[in-house]
């Protein structure tokens, strides 16, 4: 085999592996379309200073680059992508270098669905869920719930943030309302006492926290986090101790 032929073979194989290993183009959240969506729909982003806005945009971009978002029964639009990515970023924004290693796909349904993942017919009451078993690594969200969570009528509730908080909780191996990656060991028992006290208050009709929080410790954590990110000042006023505990978990300010 002549040196020229050998050289051509080397060039061909080098080109093949270069193209094969080349990463897909980076999705940039800082372009005018995505930035406009953030400015219009994401209150958390709107309150940030310019430096933190750039950081938020980068985290949104990183999430969209690493996570597949697909629609079932609906087409995915830029607003959907930005809202989903923002829901992921908000709980981890102050947690340096956090990645959702337990998530690969987000599946968006047009509306509520049932336990068999059907979004048509009766008995549909699920707004979102984190998959387990053969669905591990996947999240399903209702577009109607996703959109409502960033609307003026959302109040204390945001389904997508709720589900991403479940993922944070699950990152230590179990979804139990005790996020060991966010909560120092010394605070576990005080946190559990607080949860049980607040659940009792809910059951007695003496709390403004969504009654769904009384379902379990895991649901309490996710519901309380929704409240913390949606209406922080209201939570701080009505539930100061709960606010301080959640602040300690989520707001590890870098400064």
Query: Which phi and psi (to 5°) does residue 212 adopt?
Result: -60, -25
Distances, alpha carbon 182 to alpha carbons 94, 124, 247, in Å: 11, 33, 11
Task: Evaluate whether 143 touches 152 at the Cβ level (below 8 Å).
Answer: no
Counting runs of H as helices and runs of E as strands, what totals does the chain give? 11, 4
Nearest Cα residue to 252 out of 58, 96, 27, 26:
96
Q: Model confidence over 220-235: pLDDT tens digits? A: 999 999 999 999 999 9
Q: What is the pLDDT of residue 134?
A: 64
Would you say residue 167 lies in a domain? Answer: yes
Task: Please tell me the least confidently modeled range out of 19-33, 128-142, 178-192, 213-227.
Answer: 19-33
Q: Which residue has the higher pLDDT, 101 or 15?
A: 101
Would you say residue 67 lies in a domain? Answer: yes
Q: Please tell me what DSSP assigns to residue 153.
A: T
Q: Which residue has the higher pLDDT, 4 or 170?
A: 170
Residues 181-199 as b/e (b if ≥16 CB within 10 A, e otherwise) read ebbeeeeeeebeebbeebb
| Residue 219 reports pLDDT greater than 70 | yes
Q: What is the Cα–Cα distance from 83 to 69, expressed in whole angstroms?
A: 11
Would you say residue 38 lies in a domain? Answer: yes
Residue with tokens 């029964």: 73
111: tokens are 């509306």
Would you say residue 184 lies in a domain? Answer: yes
**Alpha carbon 45 to chain centroid distance?**
14
Q: Please tell me what DSSP assigns to residue 48.
A: S
Does residue 180 sit in helix, strand or coil? Answer: coil
Q: What is the pLDDT of residue 102?
A: 86
Would you say residue 99 lies in a domain? Answer: yes
Task: Please tell me the least confidently modeled range out of 47-51, 58-62, 99-103.
Answer: 99-103
Specify the pTM: 0.84
| Residue 254 reports pLDDT greater than 50 | no
Q: Model confidence over 80-130: pLDDT tens digits? A: 999 999 999 999 999 988 889 889 999 999 898 887 777 776 778 788 888
The range of the structural domain enclosing residue 68 comes to 32-250
Q: How many domains does the chain have?
A: 1
Would you say residue 233 lies in a domain? Answer: yes
Domain at 80, CATH number: 3.40.390.10
Would you say residue 145 lies in a domain? Answer: yes
Would you say residue 10 lies in a domain? Answer: no
| Residue 164 reports pLDDT greater than 60 | yes
Q: What is the Cα–Cα distance from 227 to 220, expressed in whole angstroms?
A: 11
Q: How many CB atoms lie within 10 A of CB 27?
A: 16
Q: Model confidence over 24-36: pLDDT tens digits? A: 434 444 478 899 9
Q: What is the pLDDT of residue 165?
A: 97
């Amino acid at each position: 085999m002549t040196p020229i032929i050998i050289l051509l073979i080397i060039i061909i194989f080098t080109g093949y592996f270069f193209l094969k290993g080349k990463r897909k183009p980076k999705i940039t959240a800082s372009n005018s379309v995505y930035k406009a969506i953030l400015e219009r729909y994401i209150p958390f982003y709107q309150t940030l200073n310019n430096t933190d806005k750039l950081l938020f945009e980068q985290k949104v971009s990183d999430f969209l680059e690493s996570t597949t978002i697909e629609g079932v029964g609906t087409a995915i639009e830029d607003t959907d992508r930005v809202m989903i990515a923002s829901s992921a970023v908000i709980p981890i924004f102050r947690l340096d270098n956090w990645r959702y290693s337990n998530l690969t796909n987000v599946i968006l349904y047009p509306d509520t669905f049932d336990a068999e993942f059907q979004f048509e017919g009766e008995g549909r009451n699920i707004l979102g869920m984190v998959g387990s078993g053969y669905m591990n690594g996947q999240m399903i969200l209702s577009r109607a719930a996703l959109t409502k969570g960033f609307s003026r009528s959302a109040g204390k509730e945001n389904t997508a943030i709720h589900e991403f908080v479940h993922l944070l909780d699950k990152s230590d191996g179990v979804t139990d309302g005790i996020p060991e990656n966010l909560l120092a060991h010394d605070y576990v028992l005080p946190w559990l006492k607080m949860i049980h006290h607040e659940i009792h208050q809910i059951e007695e009709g003496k709390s403004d926290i969504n009654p769904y929080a009384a379902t379990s410790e895991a649901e309490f954590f996710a519901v309380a986090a929704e409240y913390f990110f949606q209406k922080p000042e209201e939570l701080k006023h009505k539930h100061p101790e709960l606010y301080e505990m959640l602040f300690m978990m989520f707001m590890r300010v870098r400064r």
